[in-house]
Structure formats: structure tokens, C-alpha cells
Copies of this chain bind each other. A is one copy, B any other.
């Protein structure tokens, strides 16, 4: 078994969604596993001076079209959210709560798909509860857990860990100490895991 892949993502990030749809199959194909680590990208922006790419209008316009092409490549749904940008604190805490209830990855995928393809509003506790319930979780309990220190502390720790390891954007992957930034780094990560970049 190879080194696990640490996958730092924020539900508010378009390319985190795209990468999330691919990373489990990618890891399986490469004989490894994924540690899903939701973190607050906004805090990494504050810490590093980096900014949301969509703040540059020409870049924002391009990235929407680009994400549309990646979604077609991956054959996953994509529709730019009406309520963009997303305050992702509740969603990220809910992913951690769902993880503590044994359903982190399915919940994360369902939540990201809801926001990035189905018009879902992840700032609403009712929407979070509905996503959890569909997976057989106790929706009300997941929402309640988002207020607990056992959940909030994990999000804070993931964010501090990300910043300490040099993260300035999302998604960011680590394979051991090697960092890879962006959904578009999967081909490079593949070559790295196969030992082709030594």
C-alpha cells in the first residue's frame, strides 16, 4: 500500500468539487487511500495573501468555462451556483460530523454535488439535514453536531495544518511531503506515485 493521499478541500471551491468526484477512484487505481480534510480556504487566503481567483474578472469568466469542460471530461454534473460565493463553515463542519458518524465521503460528495450541480444551499441547516437523511444518517443530529467542539476543533485543526504545510489554495493534495495544488495535478500525481519523477 502506497502513502495515503491527504486531500485538503473546501466546499466553496469549484475545483475541490471536481477533484472530489475523482479522487477515490484515482487512489484506488494507484493502490492507495484518501484522507479527506475539509478546511477553511478563506483562512489560507488570509494567511498567505492569496485571493479568490474570481476576483479577477477575466480569470473568473475563464474559470467558469474551464470548470464546465472538466465536468464534461469527468462526466459529472455542473451548474454554476446562484448563491456564490459560499460561506462553507456549516457544510465543512457537517462533513466532519458525517465522518464521525461513518459517512464522511458519501456525505461530502453529496453535499458538494448539491451545491455545484443542483442549486442546493449549504448554508441552510435544513438542506444539510436533508442530505444527511438521504444517506441514512440522523439529519438533525448531524446539524446539531456542527455546533459541538469535537467537530469544530477538527475543522480548525485541518485549517491550521493546511496553512502550516504551505497550502494557499484548494484543492491541495499531499503525498508524504510532496504538495500538489489543483484538480489539474492528478496526472502529475499519477506519475509521481508511479515513481516516474524521481
Contacts and interface: CB of A to CB of B under 8 A. Distances in A.
B50 A59 contact: yes
A185 B50 CA distance: 22
A109 B36 CA distance: 41
Contacts of A73: 188, 191, 196-197
A184 interface: yes
Contacts of A58: 48-50, 166-168
Quickly give the copy total for this chain.
2
B184 A182 contact: yes
Q: Is the interface of A mostly helix, strand, loop or mixed?
A: helix
Contacts of A69: 178, 188, 192, 197
A165 to B, nearest CB: 10
Contacts of A62: 166, 168, 179, 181
A70 interface: yes
A168 B48 CA distance: 21
A118 interface: no
Contacts of A169: 59
A52 B180 CA distance: 19
A134 interface: no
A82 interface: no
Interface of A: 48-50, 56-59, 61-62, 65-66, 69-70, 72-73, 166-169, 178-182, 184-185, 187-188, 191-192, 196-198
